[in-house]
Structure 1
Amino acid sequence: MNLIGTDRSGLVSYVNAQLTNYFPDGADCRPTIDRYIDHALARTGPCVDAVRMWRPGQFSYLHSSQYCTFLYYLSNCIWRDKGDLNVATKLFLLNKALNAIDMFYEVELPEVFLIGHSVGIVLAKATYGNYLVLYQNSTVGKNHGVAPVIGDGVVMYPNTAIIGRSHVRDGSVVAQGVSVVNRDTPGNCLVYSGQAGDLLCKPARERAAEEYFRL
């Protein structure tokens, strides 16, 4: 993957400088960043390549959505490998500070996903399907310790929530402002608010994921 405006060494230095400035505790994060950056970029690549509005093979640290995704993968790679959790935590907090997103490194996101606008997104430990689209102020959360299951090709428009014992099946598009709480969707549908807290699910004419991703 081609790094726009920098190279591998420059990106390591850039991330390390941000961590040093945000968390001036004297710790040197560079060795950990250098160890995991290639794996993180390799995982970021499929997201970049899949998104229709982005140029395949081109990663920019100044593209907020791409950089947000990269910071998550970098922290997640460290956690998966049982590496330095202090660095993983700092990366999580850096992402939160820069992009106003709560995307903890223990949350297992899919191989391909798109953050449309990161502000206000909160993601719990849940089951996430591939080709997920997240817009601002979307929330995935637990209810009484139970987390939802989200299928492939799900789109969460702004101010939406999927909470608790919910199964949002493949191809479900949750309309703006709709909360799916302890409810299921049939899949390949548009999900609206119904009466008395129920959901109104209408069949989708086409797969929403095709609008966002190269499938």
Structure 2
Amino acid sequence: MDHKTMILDLNEKELTDLMVKQLRALLCFNESTELMDLKKAIQLAIDKIAYLIPRCKNKYYFKNGAPYFTPFHSGQNTIFCYFVSHILYVNLGNENLAERIFYLNKILNGINIYYTTKLPDIFYLDHAVGTVIGKADFSDYFQFRQNVTVGNNFNKYPRFGRNVHLWSGATVIGDCNIGNNVIISARTYLKDQDIPDNSIVFGKYPEITIKGKDEDYFLNNNYFNMDIK
């Protein structure tokens, strides 16, 4: 999708100016050496946002029927800052600035998504304060909420299929294989466990309950417009 078809609350220059002011006030920023990379990262992040937002059902992601991005919506700002930090690290090789954008995201939005973490092109978060998203293998239509933890156990990392939803307080660590179309219920704790496709999961390691559902249940109960190709 061309980002020109998306409504921007702030244009690219205004977004850049805002992030520069935030960095100067809260961390540090060297305009003479870092501004070019930041501009490029923001431009690429807007492209990613423009691809993501039409695929989400959140009513605040639209204005007058058109996809809408504002940095003053905490969820959108969280995603935007993550994209900027990850692009700086992967595309532009500027780890120093990527780390500061990561900290800026942490300060502003209370979330820990490290810039080395590779989230999918299509994901969704809601009220994700206190969440830690570490290294894992993620697939499209990944969604999570507040106080969620994803990470390693003895250097083993989770793998997530498509359309996985982590509700508030859920934890997934270690050598976990999570199938497609899975809901991990609130405060569920998984460690080194496999979950089959089309499942709702409850409980805490090692005692968990898995409830199977038809695939349509998961396709109709998520936060994505999955018909958009």
Q: TM-score range by the shorter chain?
A: over 0.9
Match of 1:10 in 2: 14
TM-score under structure 2 normalisation? Answer: 0.88
2:218 equivalent among 198, 202, 207: 207
Match of 1:198 in 2: 207
User: C-alpha distance in 1, partners of 2:75/2:132?
Assistant: 15
Match of 1:51 in 2: 56
Residues 18-57 of structure 1 aligned to structure 2 (within 5 Å): 18-24=22-28, 27-28=30-31, 29-53=34-58, 54-55=61-62, 56-57=66-67
Is the 1:4–1:58 Cα contact (8 Å) retained in structure 2? yes
Residues 101-180 of structure 1 aligned to structure 2 (within 5 Å): 101-180=111-190
AA matched with 2:225 = R
What's the CA shift for 1:91? 0.3
Matched, 1:183 2:201: no
- Secondary structure (helix, strand or coil) at the match of 1:69 reads helix
Long gaps (5+) in structure 1 = none
- Secondary structure (helix, strand or coil) at the match of 1:127 reads coil
Query: % of aligned pairs identical?
Result: 24
- Secondary structure (helix, strand or coil) at the match of 1:190 reads strand
AA matched with 2:99 = T
User: C-alpha distance in 1, partners of 2:67/2:42?
Assistant: 16
Is the 2:157–2:176 Cα contact (8 Å) retained in structure 1? yes
Question: Which string of whole-angstrom CA distances, capped at 9 and with x for unpartnered residues, describes residues 177-200 of structure 1?
Answer: 101111111121110117x72221
AA matched with 1:164 = G
Matched, 1:72 2:78: no
What's the CA shift for 1:82? 3.9
Is the 1:158–1:177 Cα contact (8 Å) retained in structure 2? yes
Is the 1:131–1:209 Cα contact (8 Å) retained in structure 2? no
1:93 equivalent among 103, 106, 112: 103
Is the 2:9–2:69 Cα contact (8 Å) retained in structure 1? no
Equivalent residues, number? 213
User: C-alpha distance in 1, partners of 2:198/2:169?
Assistant: 20
Change (3 A) 1:154 1:209: farther
User: C-alpha distance in 2, partners of 1:5/1:44?
Assistant: 13
CA RMSD of aligned residues (A): 1.6
Long gaps (5+) in structure 2 = none
Is the 1:171–1:209 Cα contact (8 Å) retained in structure 2? no
Question: Which string of whole-angstrom CA distances, capped at 9 and with x for unpartnered residues, describes residues 122-165 of structure 1?
Answer: 11111011101110000101000000101110000000011101
What's the CA shift for 1:78? 1.0
TM-score under structure 1 normalisation? Answer: 0.93
Is the 1:155–1:172 Cα contact (8 Å) retained in structure 2? yes
Is the 1:151–1:170 Cα contact (8 Å) retained in structure 2? yes
